[in-house]
Amino acid sequence: MRFRHKSLIVLLLAALATTALANVEPLHAQHGIVVSIHELASKAGVEVMQAGGNAVDAAVATGFALAVVHSPAGNIGGGGFMLVRMADGKTHFIDYREKAPAAATREMFLDAQGNVIEGASEIGYKSIGVPGSVAGMVYAEQRYGKLTLKQVMAPAIRLAREGYALSWGEVQDLHDKHLSEFAESRRIFQRGGNYYRPGEIFRQPELARTLERIAAKPDDFYHGAMAREIAAAMKKGGGLITAEDLAQYEVKEREPVRGTYRGFEVISAPPPSSGGTVLIESLNIVEGYDLAKLGDRSAESIHFTTEAFRRAFFDRAEFMGDPDFAKIPVAQLIDKKYAEAWRETIHSENATASKDLKRPAIFSELEEYAAAHPQPVENHEAPHTTHYSVVDAEGNAAAVTTTINDWFGSRVTVDGLGFLMNDEMDDFSSKPGVPNLDGLIQGEANAIGPGKRPLSSMTPTIVVHGDKTLLVLGSPGSSKIITTVANVLMGVVDYGMNIQEAVDAPRFHNQWLPDVLNVEQWFSPDTVKRLQTMGYKVEFGLHDDESVVPYWSDAECIAIDAKTGERLGASDYRNSGKAVGY
Ligand code: GLY
């Protein structure tokens, strides 16, 4: 279900407003649990755990299943990040973000006058980055899973071949007007114009065959016949991706970023995601305030948290990009001393105007970098991603966020192979210095370059207490991903909520520019009035031209009860996801 269906939104808001405080218990499971945007995908993960698989097997099974039952964002034609924390404390961060093809150029989305060509980086063949999802999931399975690829892909293959009943919301989504622009997408997802109706079974035989081929010979996607088929389809459509680009794709294992927050360890996504760094920088700043005492979603606690977000996003814009192409000063940004210096710039009662922010000059690395680079630019980041969380019976955990960027990605379905390709090229800054749709600003570090990975906000996160996993967190939502994860984490740690309450609680968001404090529809007008007197420009919901989205993101999270060991699954009540456990 997506919040673009306005009539439904009105009904839902009425319903949610009255039920917001009811039914706030997470799902309790004794052994293993998966929480995702789709019940069938969560079930796929549980099925493989019950067959002897661990959390990584379940994560891979869920990922492939989402590529079948959640075509708008689940994928094999995109990329993602998987954060794994095994029960013995070992962590693995697997980066399978898309890469720009070798023929990509810095100016590829600019016209002859040097202006950004609207939509060019979002729809169609040129918007596609070299997909990493298949490589990443195969890598995870082969390195850290217990079962075979065939076993973990079996549920996805079955779902693609036998089909599943479409919900009302899924049917509405399939009416996407840009899908109709591509013959293969129109044929598969819109039945050539004879649109699917709610309850009809959606079968994807081409995708089933593709998944079977991957399960039998995973390397084929990058080095074999399938790579050649993908490259031929890209060439025919005017895209840049070649068989050589696919052959060059590589998964990267990276060190996750680590911080602490009020005695808990926070482990999260490193560059090329900005997520973990911005999350930990924000948390470091708010750690200096007694949020619990100020009160959950009181004007004061929102004020200090917003000022922290503002500063961390200011730094995001300047410094974040692909670490294989630029040195990203993560250590300085997540240093507690830096947070302390930032706190000194925060007024106790007034908002700081974003344009007046000045970075504290305590680290020469940050000063020198900022002086050497032009002002960052705003960039669009699509909010259409998906996150799922897994914990198995042994206590191994996986947090996975994956994306094809926009809803249905580039809208291009690869001829004969039945899967959609991403439009991740849009996550680069097309032109440093120019504002974009989502109002996000990004700097030189994220300019387009061949072989480069575009900057992401995906924030798969694991919170540890002592030596035990406590929380597995994540969400879609572009820049809102980071503030959503922060809101959920603070809900548990600062405000004593259970994980379901923390996931459901109203969210607020600031990303430096535009200088707006976005609050979901459920905020009290009194609180908003008080924030306005502090100098905030408050907007209910997210504003995009004339449309207003009243709420955002989709946190799919797990907590582990420290006393009982129970796995507590919380699927976001804003959407139609499901926690499934045993
Ligand atoms: N495309 C959304 C993200 O990577 O954050």
Q: Which residue has the higher pLDDT, 473 or 382?
A: 473
Q: What is the pLDDT of residue 4?
A: 39
**Could you identify the atom of ligand 1 that is nearest to the CA of residue 457?**
5
pTM: 0.95
Note the pLDDT tens digit of each residue in 88-130: 999 999 999 999 999 999 999 999 998 889 889 999 999 999 9
| Segment 422-480, tens digit of pLDDT | 999 999 988 765 655 455 666 777 889 999 999 999 999 999 999 999 999 999 999 99
CA distance 465 to 486: 17
Provide the token pair at 251: 């998964």
Give distance in angstroms: CA of 91 to centre of ligand 1: 22
* Structural domains of the chain, with CATH: 25-253+387-446 (no CATH), 269-380+460-581 (3.60.20.40)
Across the chain, how many H-helices and E-strands are there?
20, 23
Per-residue model confidence as pLDDT tens digits over 42-65: 999 999 999 999 999 999 999 999
The verdict on whether 385 is a catalytic residue reads yes
> 385, 413, 483, 527: which is the annotated catalytic residue?
385
Residues having CB within 6 Å of any atom of ligand 1: 381-382, 385, 403, 405, 427, 456-458, 478
Q: For residue 473, give the nearest of 291, 264, 332 by alpha carbon.
A: 264
Q: Could you give the count of Cα atoms lying within 13 Å of 20 in the half-sphere of its Cβ?
A: 13
What is the rounded CA–CA span in Å between residue 322 and residue 129? Answer: 14
Neighbour-count burial of 236, counting CB atoms closer than 10 A to its CB (0-12 exposed, 13-18 middle, 19+ buried): exposed
Q: What pLDDT sits at residue 9?
A: 40
Question: Quick one: CA dihedral 463, 469, 472, 478, positive or negative?
Answer: positive
- Please give the number of the atom of ligand 1 that sits closest to the Cα of 405: 1
Rounded to the nearest angstrom, the gap between the alpha carbon of residue 147 and the centroid of all alpha carbons in its chain is 27
Q: Which of 274, 381, 440, 552 to mutate to test the pocket of ligand 1 (most atoms within 8 A of CB)?
A: 381
Among 570, 316, 577, 559, residue whose Cα is nearest residue 455: 316
Dump pLDDT digits (tens) for 139-181.
999 999 999 999 999 999 999 999 999 999 999 999 999 999 9
